[in-house]
Amino acid sequence: MPNDTRTESGEFDEKYSDEDFLAALQELDGGGTTEVAEALECPYTTAYDRLKSLRAAGKVTSRDIGKVHFWEVADPDN
């Protein structure tokens, strides 16, 4: 995988952290998957998969606007 490197133990070390995705969403004030991918210069599928994972963890929310998934950092008070 070109966007991953291996650690000394041989496990993959991800190039893009959860914090990178959350920071991009904050800078964009929310955005679509393509916008997030472009901001991080990562593949669309990488962004989409990570954003889905962050949604499952309750860190981001999403809604569909037409054919676009719009992602936002979750409100910690909710």
At the top level of CATH, the class of 13-73 is mainly alpha
CA-to-CA distance for 57 and 35, rounded, in angstroms?
21
pLDDT of residue 77: 73
pLDDT of residue 10: 52
Contact in structure between 32 and 69 (CB atoms under 8 Å): yes
Give the other-Cβ count within 10 Å of 17's Cβ.
10
Q: pLDDT digit of tens for each residue in the chain (78 aa)?
A: 344 554 555 544 578 999 999 999 999 999 999 999 999 999 999 999 999 999 999 999 999 999 999 999 998 776
pLDDT of residue 75: 87
3-state helix vs strand vs coil in the chain, percent to 5: 40, 25, 35
CA-to-CA distance for 1 and 49, rounded, in angstroms?
15
pLDDT of residue 69: 92
